[in-house]
Amino acid sequence: MDRYKEILNQVRDGLLSVDDAYLALKEEPFEALGYANVDLHRNIRQGAGEVIYGAGKTAEQIIGILTAMKNHDRLPVLVTRLDSDKAEEIQKVFDLQYFSDSRLGILGDIPSPDGKGTVAVITGGTSDIPVAEEAALTAEVLGNQVNRIYDVGVAGLHRLLSHMDEIMSARVIVVIAGMEGALASVVGGLVSVPVIAVPTSVGYGASFHGVSALLSMLNSCASGVSVVNIDNGFGAGYQASMINHLD
């Protein structure tokens, strides 16, 4: 964003001609690497830069994309679904922070929060924490204060109720649960803010790798509950950030 303001300010101050500014802006939208077209305009369109989906990409391809983004001052950059072997290769080139539980890499500094309030990330159980950390870290990289409330599922509802002050004061809530996914409906019935439900693939056979939780959350009788895909902590953290930055 600052790059575009700099170009426009230079035109205003007579330091850059309109033709040169037009050329600079024309060159900015993306960088073609052959195997990837790095989107350099995403931040100005959507308020957040491009995120690299690590699964299916080689370490060399990810390094190439990170290089392009760093050269254009597009830090910090998130790399999701990044396995440890690829992370080790990338860390030979970049000072990448790697979080093995959530399979998330971050290049650059996590910014100070500029969201309007707090994002609460709640899990049903400890087994849901990897997905929760993907959501929480995504929200933090996008400039949000995150409050983690873990292992407070419906099997021991008193654990959730002991955090009601934190839950009620949040501006948006991400609820992450496997098994039958009931926690999202419970939280949705307690609060007056948006609840983003994330079904996880945690559970025994009849949970069908998260399909049971997904269907339960989609059929929630609590108003204000939206649902993302199974194990999609990134999508929930991103959506929570968008809500938390609304005026």
Q: Are 85 and 16 in contact (CB under 8 A)?
A: no
Reported pTM: 0.85
Q: DSSP characters for 71-132?
A: HTT--SEEEES--HHHHHHHTTTS-EEEETTTTEEEESPPPPP-SSSEEEEEESSGGGHHHH
Kind and range of the H or E element at 177? Answer: strand 172-177
Tens digit of pLDDT per residue, the chain (247 long)?
Answer: 566 777 778 888 888 888 777 776 665 677 667 887 777 777 777 777 788 999 999 999 999 999 988 887 888 999 999 999 999 999 999 999 999 999 999 999 888 999 999 999 999 999 999 999 999 999 999 999 999 999 998 888 899 999 999 999 999 999 999 999 899 999 999 999 999 999 999 989 888 999 999 999 999 999 989 999 999 999 999 999 999 999 8
Which domains occur in the chain, in start order?
A: 27-107 (no CATH), 118-244 (3.40.50.1970)
Whole-angstrom CA distances from 95 to 58, 84, 88 are 18, 14, 10
pLDDT at 2: 63
pLDDT at 17: 85
